[in-house]
Homo-oligomer: A and B are copies of this chain.
Amino acid sequence: MILITNDDGAEANGIKTLTRLMTQIGNVVVVAPDGPRSGQSNALTVTHPVRFKKSNEREGLTEYICTGTPTDCVKLALNEIVERTPDLIVAGINHGSNAAINVIYSGTMGAVLEGCENGIPSIGFSIDNHSLQADFTLFEPYVLKITRKALEEGLPDGICLNVNAPVGEISGIRTARQCKGRWVKEFEKRTDPHGKAYYWLTGYFENHEPGNEETDEWALAHQFISIVPTAIDMTDYNFMETTRNWEF
């Protein structure tokens, strides 16, 4: 059984595409947010309760919508909805790239990290196009291939996959690492009718290592699908030696 969620909400084309593809592989349970939850990272709903309800059921596919975040969706699915542990969790297809530092902001990758944390092979699929009308056609066979490969080979405990696709032609698949870079000029300041300022999050990603062929951003810019093996253990093991030798 394959569990699916996303952060664009149950009505997004991306999750509908992913659901259609996954039903070719096995039984599917969808537990998706009831609206957009982009940029929700691994956020949990703690100040109020969450709810879910079944929205659709047919042979091989059961769908639920949930009032919470993508991470809540995975937690609710595992604790309250599915009867046995899923063989796989997939999230997406995200409308927008989750390459580079976006992995830490993404609700889709939050759900993937949550699946991974629970010992379940987990994959996030995203396309480098924020449009709600993004065309997934060329990505679809690769989503199936990567999913089947991960199911066949397995993923080690604590490691999930962050898969991103370019817009347009696809030259192939490249294993890559998370590109260094950061978002800049992040807010657009406006003034409300009462003369008070408010700020919309916006900005653009500044690549700090353009031209580096090892990175996920390079892969996307050169029409490759990037696969970044992503760890839930955030410890920097090299720097431990340094802090261990600090004298206080």
Question: Are A234 and B230 within 8 A (Cβ)?
Answer: yes
Neighbouring B residues of A222 by C-beta, 8 Å: none
What's the minimum C-beta distance from A126 to chain B, rounded to whole angstroms? 15
Question: Are B46 and A38 within 8 A (Cβ)?
Answer: yes
Copies in the complex: 2
Q: Is A59 at the interface (CB under 8 A from chain B)?
A: no
Question: Are B235 and A201 within 8 A (Cβ)?
Answer: no
Neighbouring B residues of A76 by C-beta, 8 Å: 187, 199
Number of interface residues of A (CB under 8 A): 77
Bound Cα distance from A69 to B197, whole angstroms: 18
CB contacts under 8 Å to B, within A133-166, are: 142, 145-146, 149, 153, 155-156, 158-159, 161
Neighbouring B residues of A72 by C-beta, 8 Å: 201
What's the minimum C-beta distance from A78 to chain B, rounded to whole angstroms? 8
What's the minimum C-beta distance from A105 to chain B, rounded to whole angstroms? 5
